C-alpha cells in the first residue's frame, strides 16, 4: 500500500486505513516558506521538507474583539527597559466605555516574551472590550487555494481558527480568569458566548467560500486541570467548541486540536466535541498519556498525534531518543491513526545547541525508518 503524504494525513482525519503512521516535525513546511530563528536549523528544514508529512497552516484575516475596526481603537508605543535585548510594548484600546491598557515584555532576539499587565483586570473591563464595534473581515479563498497548490501531495493545508476561550485567557491571564470564573462567572460565559458566535460566523464564511479543509486551533489547555476545573472545561471549552466542530463537519471539513498537559481524562470529551486529531499527547511528567493504555481504551475513535516531548529532543542521548521513537511508533500504530510528532515546534529556540540540531536530524531520519517499518504491503 503506497499513499502520498496528503492521502495519508487525510485518511487519518477520515478514520480510514493507512499504509503506515505519519511522521511530522511540528513547524516544518515547504522549505522556502518560512524564516528560521537561527541558520543552524537549515539542514533540519531541508530534511523535514523531504521526509516528513507536512502540515501547513493558513490564516484568513480574523480578529475576535473588533475585527477590521480594531485599529481605530488601538494605540501603541514602546519603552526601553535598560536591557539591550528587551523592550516593553504598551497597547491601549480607547473603547466607548473606557480605556484598556496592556503591557508586554518583548525580546529583540526572538526569545519568548511575557505579559506584564493584561488588558482585563476588573469585571467592568469585560464590558469595555465588548463595547467596541465588531466588523468582520471578508474571506478570500485564494489564500487557501494557492497554498494547496504549493503543498501538493506533500501534505495538507489546515485553516487556523481562533478558539473563543483562548482569546478570553489572552485578555485577562490565568490568575484573573480563575478569580473571575468564581466571582463573575456569568460575565466570562457571556464573553465566550459572544466570541463563539463571531468564530462560527467566520468559519461559516470560510466554508461558504468553498474551502473544505482540516481546521485547527489551540487553547483548550488553558481551561484544563490544574489551571481550571473539569466543570470550567465543560462550560468554557466544550460548550463553545462543539458547535464549531459541528459546523465544520457539516461543511465537509475536519478538526485538529492542540491541548498540552494531562488530557487522559478528557479524551472522551474531545471525541464528543468532534475532534478528529488530538495533539500533542504528552507522556508523564508533563502529561499523562501512555500510548498503549489510551489506545487500548479508545482505539481509532480519534486520531493520535505526538507523544514525543520536545525536551527529549533537546536533551536526550541518541540512544534514548531512538528508544522513545520506537516505543511511540510501536504503540501508536495499533490505533491505525497515529502521527509521530514532538510536543512543540522545532524552530522556536533562537540559540539552538548542536545536540538539539543533531537530535532533530536523528528524529527525522530514524523516525522515518520507524514508520516505514510499519508499512503495509
Q: Is residue 89 part of a domain?
A: no
Q: Is residue 249 part of a domain?
A: yes
pLDDT digits (tens, 9 = 90+) for 94-115: 999 999 999 999 999 999 999 9
Q: Is residue 97 part of a domain?
A: no
For residues 32-37, average pLDDT:
87
Q: Is the pLDDT score of 376 beyond 90?
A: no
More confident residue, 31 or 365: 365
Residue 252 and residue 377: Cα distance in Å, rounded?
30
Q: Is residue 147 part of a domain?
A: yes
Q: Output the CA torsion sign for 199, 204, 207, 210.
A: negative
Residues making up the chain, counted from first to last: 377
Q: Is residue 218 part of a domain?
A: yes
Q: Is the pLDDT score of 377 beyond 80?
A: no
Q: Is the pLDDT score of 32 beyond 90?
A: no
Q: Is the pLDDT score of 59 beyond 90?
A: yes
pLDDT digits (tens, 9 = 90+) for 145-163: 999 999 999 999 999 999 9
Q: What is the pLDDT of residue 294?
A: 97
Which residues in 44-68 are b (16+ Cβ under 10 Å) and which e? bbebbbebbbbbbebebebbbbbbe
For residues 347-362, average pLDDT:
96
Given pLDDT bands bounded at 50, 70 and 90, which one contains residue 40?
Answer: very high
For residues 123-150, average pLDDT:
97
Query: What is the count of structural domains for the chain?
Result: 1
Q: Which of 23-32, 38-47, 96-105 has the lowest mean pLDDT?
A: 23-32
Q: What is the pLDDT of residue 360?
A: 98
Q: What is the pLDDT of residue 34?
A: 87
Q: Is residue 320 part of a domain?
A: yes
For residues 195-204, average pLDDT:
98
Q: Is residue 77 part of a domain?
A: no
For residues 17-45, average pLDDT:
93
Asked if residue 174 lies in contact with residue 227, where contact means CB atoms within 8 angstroms, the answer is yes
Backbone angles phi, psi at 232, to 5 degrees: -60, -45
Q: Is the pLDDT score of 67 beyond 80?
A: yes
Q: Which of 22-36, 43-57, 253-267 has the lowest mean pLDDT?
A: 22-36
**Domain of 34?**
5-70+118-372
Per DSSP, the three-state class of 280 is: coil
Helix (H) or strand (E) holding 308: strand 303-308
pLDDT digits (tens, 9 = 90+) for 242-300: 999 999 999 999 999 999 999 999 999 999 999 999 999 999 989 999 999 999 999 99
pLDDT digits (tens, 9 = 90+) for 292-323: 999 999 999 999 999 999 999 999 999 999 99
Backbone angles phi, psi at 142, to 5 degrees: -60, -30
Q: Is the pLDDT score of 140 beyond 90?
A: yes
Residue 121 and residue 39: Cα distance in Å, rounded?
41
Q: What is the mean pLDDT of the chain?
A: 96
Domain CATH number, residue 208: 3.20.20.210
State what percent of residues in the chain have pLDDT above 70.
100
State what percent of residues in the chain have pLDDT above 90.
97
Q: Is residue 88 part of a domain?
A: no
Q: What is the pLDDT of residue 49?
A: 95
Cell of 131: 463595547
Q: What is the pLDDT of residue 53?
A: 98
Helix (H) or strand (E) holding 93: strand 86-95
Amino acid at each position: 500500500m503506497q499513499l502520498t503524504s496528503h492521502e495519508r494525513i487525510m485518511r487519518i482525519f477520515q478514520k480510514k486505513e493507512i499504509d503506515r503512521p505519519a511522521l511530522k516535525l511540528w513547524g516544518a513546511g515547504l522549505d522556502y516558506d518560512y524564516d528560521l530563528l537561527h541558520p543552524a536549523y537549515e539542514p533540519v528544514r531541508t530534511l523535514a521538507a523531504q521526509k516528513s508529512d507536512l502540515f501547513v497552516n493558513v490564516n484568513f484575516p480574523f480578529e475576535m474583539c473588533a475585527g477590521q475596526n480594531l485599529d481605530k481603537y488601538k494605540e501603541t508605543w514602546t519603552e526601553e527597559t535598560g536591557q539591550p535585548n528587551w523592550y516593553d510594548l504598551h497597547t491601549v484600546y480607547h473603547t466607548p466605555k473606557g480605556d484598556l491598557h496592556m503591557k508586554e515584555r518583548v525580546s529583540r532576539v526572538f526569545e519568548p516574551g511575557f505579559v506584564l499587565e493584561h488588558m482585563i483586570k476588573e469585571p467592568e473591563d469585560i464590558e469595555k472590550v465588548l463595547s467596541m464595534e465588531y466588523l468582520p473581515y471578508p474571506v478570500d479563498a485564494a489564500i487557501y487555494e494557492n497554498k494547496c497548490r504549493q503543498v501538493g501531495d506533500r501534505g495538507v493545508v489546515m485553516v487556523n481558527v481562533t478558539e473563543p476561550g483562548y482569546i478570553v485567557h489572552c485578555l485577562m491571564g490565568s490568575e484573573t480568569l480563575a478569580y473571575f470564573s468564581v466571582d463573575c462567572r456569568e460575565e466570562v460565559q457571556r464573553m465566550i458566548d459572544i466570541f463563539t458566535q463571531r468564530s462560527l460566523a467566520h468559519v461559516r464564511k470560510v466554508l461558504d467560500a468553498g474551502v473544505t479543509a482540516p481546521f485547527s486551533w489551540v487553547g483548550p489547555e488553558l481551561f484544563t486541570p490544574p489551571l481550571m476545573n473539569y466543570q470550567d472545561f465543560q462550560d468554557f471549552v466544550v460548550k463553545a467548541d462543539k458547535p464549531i466542530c459541528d459546523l465544520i463537519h457539516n461543511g465537509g471539513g475536519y478538526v485538529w486540536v492542540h491541548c498540552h498537559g494531562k488530557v487522559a481524562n478528557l479524551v472522551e470529551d474531545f471525541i464528543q466535541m468532534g475532534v478528529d486529531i488530538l495533539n500533542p499527547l504528552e507522556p508523564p511528567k508533563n502529561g499523562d498519556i501512555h500510548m498503549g493504555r489510551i489506545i487500548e481504551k479508545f482505539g481509532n475513535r480519534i486520531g493520535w498525534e505526538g507523544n514525543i516531548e520536545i525536551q527529549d529532543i533537546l536533551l536526550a542521548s541518541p540512544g534514548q531518543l531512538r528508544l522513545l521513537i520506537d516505543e511511540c511508533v510501536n504503540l501508536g500504530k495499533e490505533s491505525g491513526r497515529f502521527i509521530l510528532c514532538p510536543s512543540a515546534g522545532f524552530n522556536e529556540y533562537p540559540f539552538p545547541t548542536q545536540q538539539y540540531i543533531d537530535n532533530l536530524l536523528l528524529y527525522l531520519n530514524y523516525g522515518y525508518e520507524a514508520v516505514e517499518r510499519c508499512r503495509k504491503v
